Amino acid sequence: MLSEQGLVRGENIRDLELPDFFSVEYDDEGPSICTAMVILKGHGKTNQFGKPLFSGYYHHTNVRLCAVSTTAFFLFYQYHVMNEPFPDFSIPQRWYDIVMFCIDCRNNVQAMSRTAHARAVYDAYSALNIMHQKVTHAGRQNGRQLLEKGGVEKVAADVAGG
């Protein structure tokens, strides 16, 4: 969900750390509070203009398609079902290096490998009978195709990622 809806490459997903997640509240966006979940892509990796790259996510009306809910469910599962130690937020240095998708909760500062990520995505796709050539970048490609299906012009889709 993060990859598809944020048009994010596999390495950006694997390298996500807790401080890469934050929220932004938008004013005057309707009758209720509008908050976006935002991720910083590439630990401050910049584009050709020297600016950090971000992806933003809003709640989807369908919880099965909601990257915000998926992230919340993942964190609930990680800390309440799997009983991984909850991060100590009292001092930034204690949680700044925690990766979102670690290989082991006892070593939560080491991101999963490209191979492990590819295997997890491949297994999920296989279980759903989905065939795709680009395993860890499939979400990004699917997201772009959904944009084009929704009427986003090709130039805009190219800006969003190819």
* Number of domains present in the structure of the chain: 1
Q: Which residues pair with 38 in a beta bridge?
A: 22, 56
Mapping DSSP to helix (H, G, I), strand (E, B) and coil, where does residue 108 land? strand
How confident is the model over 1-56, as pLDDT tens digits? 888 888 888 888 888 999 999 999 988 877 888 899 999 887 555 567 777 888 88
- Taken as a whole, the chain contains a residue count of 162
71 Cβ neighbours under 8 A, 6+ residues apart: 1, 2, 21, 37
* Single-letter code of the amino acid located at 69: S
Q: What is the pLDDT of residue 103?
A: 78
The model's pTM is 0.77
Task: Tell me the residue range of the domain where 87 lies.
Answer: 2-160
97 Cβ neighbours under 8 A, 6+ residues apart: 17, 109
CATH classification of the domain holding 62: 1.10.443.10
Mean pLDDT value across residues 46-71: 84
Q: What is the pLDDT of residue 157?
A: 52
